[in-house]
Amino acid sequence: MFVNSLLAAAFFTLAVNAGPALSVEDAQLATQALSFLIQAPGECLFQYTDLPANAPSHNMAALWLRAIFHDSGTFNASDLTGGLDASLVTNPESGTTDNIGIPESAATRFIPSKSPISKADMIALGGIVTVAACGGPQVAFRTGRDDAGVSNNAKLLPSDAFAPVGTIKAGFLRMGLTALDMLVLTTGSHSMGGAHAAISPNVTKEKFEPFDRTPGVFDNDIFKRVLDGKCVVPIDCAFAKDPELLPYIQQYAKDENAFFTQYAISFEKMLNLSPSSLSDPVAIMIKRHSNLVEEGTWPPASAASTTTTVSAVASITTAGSAAKSSSAAADIFLLSSVIYALATTLLLL
Ligand code: HEM
């Protein structure tokens, strides 16, 4: 079975007015191609049937975010090398165990060989669609990333779950990102998905251990877990011991909007880690998936409370599928997206 239920989430409304141009037609083509990459309903936490049976993670939405970090995290701001250049797809970075699980199962496998924008742009766009469709903020999309001809040095990726905060900070600084970017991008993105024994045996023994209580929803629950000292990835709790970062964790645990505002800024910075010159923002509208909380809460209400297997994910996907309806929240989000797109259009005219 190929992808059979589509998100059809992004609608491009205008072309850019500087940098590499993206026509409305091309943007719509890219949108259609993308709609094959993230499926609905339940796309924010689901078992993706077309993935190889041995794929260690089936959380397509979460994998997309993780892939963005693992692709862009090689960027060196001082000599403009590495960055988000689709090298995970074109030349899987070898010589490291850091990328385990991504080439086998990430959404990046499904990037079409022909698309109106580069593979790196598609990866960026997939992350933007994922965040907004799964409940998070709208993030600006720029095009123009060149795809890499060679692998980057994946050993540059600061992704050691047990490293001291200072080491991880230094890695983000080398990318040109701040300590606050590091916090919202790492802990914030850990709002989605979880750890798998097949990928991170030193982190979990579970087939799937979610990072928070809503692994299928992009929300601020992860910050509440961190404050309670309940972290799957140790670095998330280590951030709370850093006096520079603790006030932000406390703020984001209380105020989801504050988290979303900073995430939109930091995630755009990460997406734009590229030596290429990027376009002005392309206005896009992304429809938020309905039934997010019902489908994305762990453990699923329909499953036995002790069940923490991937088949339980499949069962909530099916349940969500039957119950799918257009919620008022989704409609309001869509309306605000339209307003956003129109406002951006006016600004660019
Ligand atoms: C200090 C930096 C980071 C460390 C040490 C770290 C560590 C980890 C670990 C150990 C996992 C579990 C992988 C698995 O077993 O499936 C994971 C998953 C994940 N990471 Fe991170 N991470 C970091 C930063 C980031 C960043 C910057 C992002 C996104 C921008 C990100 C997004 C994700 C997502 C979405 C998952 C869930 C994947 C799934 O459910 O399949 N991480 N991370």
Tens of pLDDT, residue by residue over 166-186, are 999 999 999 999 999 999 999
**CA-closest residue to ligand 1 atom 42:** 186
* 130 band by pLDDT with thresholds 50, 70 and 90: confident
Residue 145 has pLDDT above 80, yes or no: yes
Q: Which of 177, 233, 270 to mutate to test the pocket of ligand 1 (most atoms within 8 A of CB)?
A: 233
Task: Give the least confident one: 89-103, 237-251, 255-269.
Answer: 89-103
Q: Which residue range is the domain that position 18 belongs to? A: 10-348
Q: Cα of 187 to ligand 1 centre, how many Å?
A: 9
Task: Give the least confident one: 42-56, 84-98, 120-134, 224-238.
Answer: 42-56
Query: For the residues 322-342, what does the mean pLDDT come to?
Result: 32
Residue 319 has pLDDT above 80, yes or no: no
Q: Structural domain tally of the chain?
A: 1
Query: For the residues 17-34, what does the mean pLDDT come to?
Result: 56
Q: Cα of 186 to ligand 1 centre, how many Å?
A: 7
Please list every protein residue whose CB sits less than 6 Å from any atom of ligand 1. 57, 59, 62-63, 65-66, 68-69, 101, 158-161, 168, 185-186, 189-190, 192-196, 199-200, 203, 233, 235
Better pLDDT: 15 or 137: 137
Query: For the residues 234-250, what does the mean pLDDT come to?
Result: 97
The pLDDT value recorded for residue 286 is 77
The pLDDT value recorded for residue 266 is 98
Asked whether residue 301 is assigned to any structural domain, the reply reads yes
Is residue 155 within 8 A of residue 96, CB to CB? The reply is yes
Query: For the residues 194-215, what does the mean pLDDT come to?
Result: 93
Q: Give the CATH number for residue 253.
A: 1.10.520.10
Asked whether residue 1 is assigned to any structural domain, the reply reads no
Cα–Cα distance measured from residue 252 to residue 191, given in angstroms and rounded to the nearest whole number: 12
Asked whether residue 57 is assigned to any structural domain, the reply reads yes
Query: For the residues 197-221, what does the mean pLDDT come to?
Result: 93
Asked whether residue 250 is assigned to any structural domain, the reply reads yes
Residue 325 has pLDDT above 50, yes or no: no
